Amino acid sequence: MKRPLLYLLISAITLAAIYPILVVIGISLRPAGSLYSTSLALIPAGASLEAYRVVLFEKPFGRWLANSAAVSLLVTIVGVALASTAGYAFSRFRFRGRTVGMAMFLVTQMFPATMLLLPLYVLMRNLGLTDSLPGLAVAYSATALPFCVWTMKGYFDSIPAALEEAALVDGAGRFGTFVRIILPLSAPALAITALFSFMAGWSEFIVARVVLSSQELYTLPLGLESLSNSFQTEWANYSAGAILVSIPVVVVFLMMNRFLVSGLTVGGIKD
Amino acid sequence: MNGSSERSLPYLFLGPALLVMLLVVVYPFGYNIWISLTNMNLYHLRDPTFLGFEHYRNILGEPELVAVFIKTVLWTVVNIFFHVTIGTALALLLNQEIRGRSVFRALLILPWAMPQYITALTWRGMFNFEYGQVNLILTEWFGFEAIPWFGSETWAFTAAILTNIWLGFPFMMIVALGGLQSIPEEMYEAARIDGAGRWQRMREITLPLLRPVMVPAILLGTIWTFNNLNVIWLVTNGGEPADKSHILVSQVYKAAFTYYRYGYAAAFSMVIFLILLVLVIVYMRQTRATERVY
């Protein structure tokens, strides 16, 4: 393909891909008077940061943020700790129940959301555990774990066993070898596992909507959705909130851009 | 280290994850089956009575089920088709020596990096009849009539599909890029020396070597899309117009958490799971994806 044509094509596609994001940014900058705007200008006339001020200081944004951060961190810690050990077991040992265990993790991906959500919800209701952030974090861990275990297992498979055999001969125990030799070599896969676990908590709406009912426990998705409900009055505030919430995720994503390519491809396949 | 501790070692590594999975996956799974055999609902939360397979009989007898199933398959196929073709095409474009490649790549994964619910809510706003950008562009730039996106079943479904296509292509692009980068340059050189043209190199080297990476990604993508509740629920605001834009998973979510029909919803979840399980097994047989996945 001719160079200029190639650039034109890829620029056009990229523009189309980020257009909705530009729209959100544009709306977040709208001054209070022009919410019913039918202008397609990306930067509205009289652009202001008023919506950001309102979201940050007049809405319980700080509380939503704290709730989301607590849940996501908990899910990340659980996800990384459990997925790396389980992935290691599946990668390095041949034991009874291995194939069944691996298949089980894959099968859980096929459960419709309600399949686990409904019984967990009924259980939590009967135990009085609904409307609690730890309860929410537990539910998220269940959804994040299978993918993370597979990613870790796939990555461990690509690390030559000879590396740890040397350490084992030198008398380091299995666990010591795992922590000191294998984990440091697995940075890309650990990064992806951490990212996926974190995102499972940070960006989830459907489960949170069912589990949480009191406003003080709202996570960011629930809070933002409550802003988006009243289309006319709060759309600029919602957009400002959406931008604020997306920035950290996008930054992390872009930082891990490099890892994503290698991590995801190794994740599913064995060499 | 003695033999017995070596043998129990894998279970020690696996233990914590297994415990969590038993607690939050296996146990609820069993409990779900039990709920599906009872009349549990909001009024019989603590004292449900056993019904047997009544819910299953009712669900399989609903004339609507087939229609919703077909719509779910359509939703999945259309989405995955565009995710894979757009994703692979972009990966091929990005895999060439072009300036600013990393900038394009970073910008192109943004739709994936944005939290899904924000994307969905944002597109819902963009599909608004009067103020949404989609209609404004259609009317002002192209002179079309404004489309009542949430006024009809077909348009609402189209809106959700457009949103999900936008949201899902970067994942396939990243996977395809990884696959492309693992193809050794020497293969292309050898083919060039043998006189293979551009198109032939693509057909004989690139596409076959991409396949092992794409097959598991497509499998995973299919499962995720088939059960994607977020996008359809948020874009159509819970099934607008009048619960007509549902796929299987959003229909059951509504039954469970809007209408509190717990027993019925639990049975419906099982039906969806079994349908998907059969589809996945057929897909794996066809593509022999397991050989690669394991």
pLDDT for B293? 42
* Dist. CA A115–CA B249, nearest whole Å: 10
- In the predicted model, is pLDDT for residue B291 greater than 60? no
> Domain range for residue A93?
59-268
A90 and B94 within 8 Å at the Cβ level: the answer is no
Over residues A214-247, the pLDDT tens digits come to 889 999 999 988 887 665 557 888 889 999 988 8
Same domain, B286 and B208: no
CA angle A208, A260, B11 (to 5 degrees): 70
Over residues A48-90, the pLDDT tens digits come to 888 898 888 888 999 999 999 999 999 999 899 999 999 998 8
What's the number of domains chain A is made of? Answer: 2
- Residue A234 maps to a domain: yes
pLDDT for A158? 81
Chain A CA closest to residue B17: A82
Mean pLDDT of B266-278: 93
- Residue B39 maps to a domain: yes
- As a whole number of angstroms, the longest Cα–Cα distance in chain B is 79
Mean pLDDT of A178-187: 87
Same domain, B47 and B152: no
pLDDT for A263? 56
Over residues B83-131, the pLDDT tens digits come to 999 999 999 998 887 888 888 988 998 888 888 888 888 899 899 888 8
Same domain, B154 and B268: no
Same domain, B200 and B251: yes
- As a whole number of angstroms, the longest Cα–Cα distance in chain A is 73
- Residue A153: name the closest of A84, A100, A95 by CA: A84
pLDDT for A206? 85
pLDDT for A230? 60
Same domain, B277 and B164: no
- Residue B112: name the closest of B67, B53, B152, B167 by CA: B167
Mean pLDDT of B125-146: 88
Element (H, E) at A254: helix A231-255
What ipTM was predicted for this assembly? 0.81
Same domain, B121 and B267: no
Q: Write the DSSP symbol of residue A32.
A: G
* Tokens 């890029």 belong to residue: B177
- Residue A88 maps to a domain: yes
Count CA atoms within 13 Å of residue A93 on its CB side.
24
Same domain, A99 and A17: no
* Dist. CA B178–CA B254, nearest whole Å: 39
- Residue B17 maps to a domain: no
- Residue B21: name the closest of A217, A205, A97, A157 by CA: A97
Min distance B131 CA to chain A CA atoms (Å): 5
pLDDT for B81? 97
* Dist. CA B140–CA B137, nearest whole Å: 5
- Residue B135: name the closest of B118, B153, B123 by CA: B123
Could you tell me the CATH number of the domain that includes residue B236? 1.10.3720.10
Min distance B154 CA to chain A CA atoms (Å): 22
B residues 134-153 lying closer than 8 A (beta carbon) to A: 136-137, 140
Same domain, A43 and A64: no
Same domain, A34 and A115: no
Interface test mutation site (partner B, options A75, A143, A269, A271, max chain B beta carbons within 10 A): A269
- Residue B6 maps to a domain: no
Element (H, E) at A257: helix A257-268
CA angle B248, B250, B256 (to 5 degrees): 105
- Residue A139 maps to a domain: yes
- Show residues of chain B in contact with A17, CB under 8 Å: 107-108, 110-111, 166
Interface test mutation site (partner B, options A77, A105, A111, max chain B beta carbons within 10 A): A111
Same domain, A63 and A15: no
Same domain, A112 and A175: yes
pLDDT for A35? 62
Task: Report the predicted TM-score, pTM, of the whole model to 2 decimal places.
Answer: 0.85
Same domain, B140 and B282: no
| Residues in a beta bridge with B50 | B38
- Residue A118 maps to a domain: yes
B25 and A238 within 8 Å at the Cβ level: the answer is no
Query: From the list A86, A99, A265, which residue is nearest B13 (CB)?
Result: A86
Over residues B225-254, the pLDDT tens digits come to 999 988 999 899 888 888 888 999 999 999
Min distance B202 CA to chain A CA atoms (Å): 14
Mean confidence (pLDDT) of chain A = 83
Q: CB–CB of B173/B180 below 8 Å?
A: no
- In the predicted model, is pLDDT for residue A4 greater than 90? no
B232: Cβ–Cβ under 8 A, 6 or more apart, which residues? B75, B160, B164, B245, B246, B247, B249, B250
Token output for B97: 């020596």
B96 and A9 within 8 Å at the Cβ level: the answer is no
Q: CB–CB of A240/A51 below 8 Å?
A: yes
- In the predicted model, is pLDDT for residue A176 greater than 80? yes
Token output for B8: 């129990």
A158 touches chain B (CB under 8 A): no
> Domain range for residue B201?
67-259
Q: CB–CB of B222/B283 below 8 Å?
A: yes
pLDDT above 90: percentage of residues in chain A: 15
Same domain, B189 and B286: no
Same domain, A153 and A31: no
* Dist. CA A126–CA B246, nearest whole Å: 30
Same domain, B141 and B272: no
- Show residues of chain A in contact with B93, CB under 8 Å: 6, 9-10
Token output for B290: 């397991």
What's the number of domains chain B is made of? Answer: 2
Helices (H) and strands (E) in chain B, counts: 16, 0
